[in-house]
Amino acid sequence: MEIKNKVVVVTGATSGIGQACALIFGKAGAKIWITGRSRVKLDETLLLLQKEGVECGGEVCDAAKAEHNEKMAHDVIRHYGKIDILINNAGISMRALFRDLDLKVFHQVMDINFWGTVYATKYCMEEIIKNKGAIIGVSSINGFRGTPARTAYTASKFAMNGFLEALRTEVMKLGVHVLVVCPGFTASNIRNNALTADGSPQEESPRDEEKMMTADQVAEAILKALIKGKRDLVLTRQGKLASFLNKWVPGIMDQVVYNHMAKEKDSPFK
Ligand SMILES: NC(=O)c1ccc[n+]([C@@H]2O[C@H](COP(=O)([O-])OP(=O)(O)OC[C@H]3O[C@@H](n4cnc5c(N)ncnc54)[C@H](OP(=O)(O)O)[C@@H]3O)[C@@H](O)[C@H]2O)c1
């Protein structure tokens, strides 16, 4: 797929992987539309993109609200005249044992990660079909392998993967490409903003962010995978190994994942 002059919508692009995608797709010649909930972070990101010579616009849009997504799709068409590529990236994580977790937190995670993907896709879809474009979902290794103390996050990512696989098959004769991206641990704000049992952010990352893949590396891999027309993209050596082992020895993986996650700082289980 050619990127130049394509109109690319990136949800949750005011930080991390989304911001890196906006930059790399913009530098490749795409016209970018970004969203996020914070006006301040949105304006800062637009300024950063403009400084890099990227043609861009954007708006405050809560992924979890259907009406915000509907307005967003209309605004992009009004501004650029079309939508070619949608990158469903907006996401939030959580960390708590399910037995302690307030169900409102479960709903919040599903509303942003899963329903946010459904809403944005629904409202951008007709344009993407018209332009034989692409729908990308930034899922996670948790889209095919669960992690303890991340039940809501895992459920939201499995749901994303199922939705996008069914949709891919539905639109494959219409010239629309669907790419599911499963990053491994990536340095970003996701763990600082992750919700705890009562819905308050955990603030401090329990992992060493410096040892992780960078958001720029993830964005570059996403751009390359789209250009090559790849169906799935699983990132990090650890993520690829998890994918392989979970397919063939899922019982052993239960132990491996438990032991690995129990070593996290302040793990809620041991
Ligand atoms: N980092 C990792 O280790 C990792 C691994 C696998 C998958 N992922 C996935 O990658 C995606 C991006 O995460 P990241 O790591 O780049 O995290 P991040 O740095 O925290 O960025 C998340 C972005 O999503 C936006 N966002 C959150 N809730 C939103 C909502 N309701 N509506 C609109 N925007 C919203 C945030 O902006 P506002 O807060 O201003 O709204 C921010 O721009 C997520 O879907 C995440 O699940 C990340």
Residues with CB under 6 A from ligand 1: 11-18, 35-38, 41, 62-64, 89-92, 112, 138, 140, 183, 185-186, 188-190, 193, 215
Residue length of the chain: 270
Which residues are catalytically annotated?
153
Indicate the pTM of the whole model.
Answer: 0.98
In contact, 84 and 68? CB cutoff 8 Å: no
Whether residue 255 lies inside any domain: the answer is no
Whether residue 260 lies inside any domain: the answer is no
User: The domain that contains 79 carries what CATH number?
Assistant: 3.40.50.720
Inform me whether the pLDDT recorded for 181 exceeds 90. yes
pLDDT digits (tens, 9 = 90+) for 76-104: 999 999 999 999 999 999 999 999 999 99
Q: How many CB atoms lie within 10 A of CB 228?
A: 10
Whether residue 267 lies inside any domain: the answer is no
Which structural domain range is residue 114 located in?
7-239
- The total domain count for the chain is 1
Whether residue 268 lies inside any domain: the answer is no
Q: Which of 190, 213, 214, 240 to mutate to test the pocket of ligand 1 (most atoms within 8 A of CB)?
A: 190
φ, ψ dihedrals at 170, nearest 5°? -65, -35
Whether residue 57 lies inside any domain: the answer is yes
pLDDT of residue 43: 98
Whether residue 231 lies inside any domain: the answer is yes
Q: What is the distance between the alpha carbons of residues 90 and 138, in angstroms, rounded to a whole number? A: 8
